[in-house]
Structure 1
Amino acid sequence: MYLRPQIADPRAIIDRRALTLQLDALGGEGKHGSAEQRKQALVLLKAALGQGRQVIQQRFQSGTPALPTRQAFAYLVDQIIRLVHDFTVNRVYRLPNPTAAEKLSVVAVGGYGRGEMAPFSDVDLLFLFPYKQTPWGEQVVEYMLYLLWDLGLKVGHATRSVDECIRLSLSDVTIRTAILEQRWIWGDQELAAQLKLKFQSEVVAKTGADFIEKKLAERDERHRRMGDSRYVVEPNVKEGKGGLRDLHTLVWINKYLYGIEDSADLVARGLLLPEEQRSFTQAMEFLWAVRIHLHYLANRAEERLTFDMQVEIAKAMGYADRPGRSDVERFMKKYYLVAKEVGDLTRIFAAALEERHKKVAPLAAFRAKIKRAKKIDGFDIAGGRVNVGSETMFEQQPIKMLRLFHLAQEQGLDVHPEALRLVRRHLKLIDGKIRNDPEANRLFMDMLCSKQDPETTLRRLNEAGVFGRFVPDFGRVVAQTQHDMYHTYTVDEHTIRAIGILSRIESGALKEDHPLSVNVIKEVLSRRVLYVAVLLHDIAKGRGGDHSILGEKVADKLGPRFGLTAAETETVGWLVRWHLAMSATAFKRDIADPKTVVDFAQLVQSPERLRLLLCLTVADIRAVGPTIWNGWKGQLLRELYYRAEEYLSGGFSGRRREERIAETKDKVRAGLTDWSKAEIDRLLKRHYENYWYSSDVEMILRHARLMREADAAKRTLTTGTRSDTFRSVTEFTLYAPDHPGLFARVAGAMAAAGANIVDAKIFTTNDGMALDSFYIQDMEGGAFDKPDRLKKLSTAIERALSGDLKLRSAIAPEKPGTTSRTRVFKVAPRVLIDNQASNRYTVVEVNGRDRPGFLYDVTRGLYDLNLTIGSAHIATYGERAVDVFYLQDLTGMKLTDKRRLQQIEKHLMKQITQADDKEKPAAAKAAKAA
Structure 2
Amino acid sequence: MSCFAQPNPAAAFKALIQTHSQGLRLRFRPDQSVSSLLTAKSRFTDGLLKCCWQHFLGVKNHALALIATGGYGRTELFPHSDVDILIIASPADKELFQEQLANFSRFLWDIGLKPGQSVHSIDECLEAAGDDQTIFTSLLEMRLITGNAELFRSLKTQLSTRQLWPSEQFLPVKIAEQEHRYSKFHETAYNLEPNIKEGPGGLRDLQVIAWVFKRHYHAASLNELIKYGYLPKSEYHSFITAKQILWRLRFALHLLTNRSEDRLLFDYQRELAAWFGYLDQDQQPDVESFMQFYYKTVVDIERLNEMLLQLLNEKLISDPDQLKPIPISADFSAIGGYLEATNHEVFTENPLALLEIFLLAQQLPSLKGIRASTLRLIRKNVHRIDQAFRTSKQANRLFLEILRQPRGITHELKRMNRYGVLAAYLPDFANIVARMQYDLFHIYTVDEHTLFLIRNLRRFSLDKHSKELPFCNKIFLLIPKPEILYIAALFHDIAKGRGGDHSQLGATIAERFCFQHDLPTHDIKLVTWLVRNHLLMSMTAQRKDISNPQIIHSFALQVGSIEYLNHLYLLTVADIRATSPSLWNSWKDSLLRELYIATHNALHRGLHNPMARSERISDNTREARQELLKLGISTTSIDQSWRHLSEDYFLRYSADEIAWHTIAIAASAETELPLVLLRPQTQRSSAEIFVYTHNQPGIFSTCTATLDQLGLTILDARIITTADQYVLNSFQVLQQSGQPIKDLFQEIHIASSLRQALLSKRVNRHPRNLHKQSRQARHFPIPTRITFLDDPYQRHTIIELITTDRAGLLSTIGQAFSELDVQLHDAKITTIGSRAEDMFYITDQQGQQIGDADKQLQIQERILELLHNDA
Partner of 1:172: 132
Shift of 1:433: 2.2
Amino acid corresponding to residue 331 of structure 2 in structure 1: G
* 1:583-598 correspondence runs (5 A): 583-598=538-553
- Secondary structure (helix, strand or coil) at the match of 1:234 reads coil
Partner of 2:179: 220
Contact 2:676 2:689 in 1 (8 A): yes
Partner of 1:278: 237
Cα distance in structure 2, aligned partners of 1:651 and 1:705: 36
Contact 2:676 2:755 in 1 (8 A): no
Partner of 1:707: 665
* 1:164-203 correspondence runs (5 A): 164-203=124-163
Amino acid corresponding to residue 465 of structure 1 in structure 2: G
Shift of 1:553: 2.2
Cα distance in structure 1, aligned partners of 2:282 and 2:512: 23
Contact 1:631 1:729 in 2 (8 A): yes
Kindly provide the CA deviation profile for residues 8-53 of structure 1, in whole angstroms up to 9, marking residues without a partner as x: xxxxxxxxxxx3xx46xx7xxxxxxxxxx57454444333222111
Partner of 1:15: none
Cα distance in structure 2, aligned partners of 1:177 and 1:143: 29
Asked if 1:534 is matched to 2:489, the reply is yes
Amino acid corresponding to residue 49 of structure 1 in structure 2: I
* 1:623-702 correspondence runs (5 A): 623-649=578-604, 651=606, 653-673=609-629, 674-702=632-660
Partner of 2:356: 403
Contact 1:525 1:608 in 2 (8 A): no
Check 1:140–1:577 CA distance in 2 against 1; reply closer, same or farther (3 A cut).
same
**TM-score w.r.t. length of structure 2:** 0.93
Contact 2:675 2:755 in 1 (8 A): no
* 1:122-137 correspondence runs (5 A): 122-129=82-89, 132-133=92-93, 137=97
* 1:75-94 correspondence runs (5 A): 75-89=43-57, 93-94=58-59
* 1:464-475 correspondence runs (5 A): 464-475=419-430
Shift of 1:326: 6.8
Contact 1:453 1:500 in 2 (8 A): no
Partner of 1:797: 754
1:483 is aligned, of 431, 438, 442, to: 438
Cα distance in structure 2, aligned partners of 1:187 and 1:455: 56
Contact 1:748 1:811 in 2 (8 A): no
Computed over aligned residues only, the root mean square deviation of the Cα atoms, in angstroms, reads: 2.7
Shift of 1:265: 2.4
- Secondary structure (helix, strand or coil) at the match of 2:692 reads strand
Shift of 1:236: 1.8
Asked if 1:416 is matched to 2:370, the reply is yes
Partner of 1:32: none
Cα distance in structure 2, aligned partners of 1:170 and 1:680: 78
Cα distance in structure 2, aligned partners of 1:130 and 1:448: 64
Partner of 1:147: 107
Amino acid corresponding to residue 332 of structure 1 in structure 2: M
Cα distance in structure 1, aligned partners of 2:43 and 2:279: 34
Asked if 1:743 is matched to 2:692, the reply is no
Cα distance in structure 1, aligned partners of 2:97 and 2:691: 75
- Secondary structure (helix, strand or coil) at the match of 2:687 reads strand
Cα distance in structure 2, aligned partners of 1:726 and 1:667: 16
Amino acid corresponding to residue 414 of structure 1 in structure 2: K
Amino acid corresponding to residue 39 of structure 2 in structure 1: Q
Cα distance in structure 2, aligned partners of 1:819 and 1:421: 44
- Secondary structure (helix, strand or coil) at the match of 1:724 reads coil
Check 1:68–1:569 CA distance in 2 against 1; reply closer, same or farther (3 A cut).
farther
1:253 is aligned, of 212, 216, 226, to: 212
Asked if 1:394 is matched to 2:347, the reply is yes
Kindly provide the CA deviation profile for residues 765-805 of structure 1, in whole angstroms up to 9, marking residues without a partner as x: 44432222211011122213322322331232123212364
Cα distance in structure 2, aligned partners of 1:667 and 1:137: 86
Partner of 1:521: 476
Partner of 1:846: 801
Check 1:892–1:40 CA distance in 2 against 1; reply closer, same or farther (3 A cut).
closer
**TM-score w.r.t. length of structure 1:** 0.88
Check 1:460–1:522 CA distance in 2 against 1; reply closer, same or farther (3 A cut).
same
Query: Percent identical across equivalent pairs?
Result: 32
Shift of 1:602: 3.1
Partner of 1:381: 334
Kindly provide the CA deviation profile for residues 789-829 of structure 1, in whole angstroms up to 9, marking residues without a partner as x: 223312321232123643555486554xx653221112111
Shift of 1:140: 4.6
Asked if 1:57 is matched to 2:25, the reply is yes
Check 1:606–1:60 CA distance in 2 against 1; reply closer, same or farther (3 A cut).
same
Deviates more, 1:173-182 or 1:795-804: 795-804
Asked if 1:231 is matched to 2:190, the reply is yes
Contact 1:870 1:886 in 2 (8 A): yes
Shift of 1:125: 1.2
Check 1:370–1:184 CA distance in 2 against 1; reply closer, same or farther (3 A cut).
closer
Contact 1:755 1:784 in 2 (8 A): no
Amino acid corresponding to residue 55 of structure 1 in structure 2: G
Asked if 1:294 is matched to 2:247, the reply is no
Cα distance in structure 1, aligned partners of 2:767 and 2:123: 64
Cα distance in structure 1, aligned partners of 2:768 and 2:702: 12
Partner of 1:243: 202
Kindly provide the CA deviation profile for residues 290-347 of structure 1, in whole angstroms up to 9, marking residues without a partner as x: 2222222222212222221223322222222379997222222222222211211111
Shift of 1:749: 0.6
Deviates more, 1:243-252 or 1:519-528: 519-528
Contact 2:710 2:769 in 1 (8 A): no
Shift of 1:350: 0.9
Kindly provide the CA deviation profile for residues 624-674 of structure 1, in whole angstroms up to 9, marking residues without a partner as x: 122211221122222323333344445464443333323333323322222
Cα distance in structure 2, aligned partners of 1:270 and 1:105: 37
Kindly provide the CA deviation profile for residues 443-472 of structure 1, in whole angstroms up to 9, marking residues without a partner as x: 222222322131112112112221111112
* 1:707-856 correspondence runs (5 A): 707-711=665-669, 714-724=671-681, 727-803=684-760, 805-807=762-764, 809-810=766-767, 815=772, 819-856=774-811
Check 1:217–1:863 CA distance in 2 against 1; reply closer, same or farther (3 A cut).
same
Partner of 1:5: none
Check 1:556–1:68 CA distance in 2 against 1; reply closer, same or farther (3 A cut).
farther
**When the two structures are aligned, how many residues end up with a matched partner?**
866
Contact 2:590 2:685 in 1 (8 A): no
Partner of 1:7: none
Deviates more, 1:283-292 or 1:676-685: 676-685
Contact 2:546 2:552 in 1 (8 A): yes
Asked if 1:498 is matched to 2:458, the reply is no
Shift of 1:128: 2.8
Kindly provide the CA deviation profile for residues 103-148 of structure 1, in whole angstroms up to 9, marking residues without a partner as x: 3332211110011111111111122347742666445533432332
Unaligned segments of structure 2, at least 5 residues: none
Contact 1:688 1:765 in 2 (8 A): yes
Unaligned segments of structure 1, at least 5 residues: 1-18, 27-36, 917-930
Partner of 2:574: 619
Partner of 2:499: 544
Amino acid corresponding to residue 253 of structure 1 in structure 2: V
Contact 1:537 1:579 in 2 (8 A): yes
Contact 1:524 1:612 in 2 (8 A): yes
Deviates more, 1:878-887 or 1:303-312: 303-312
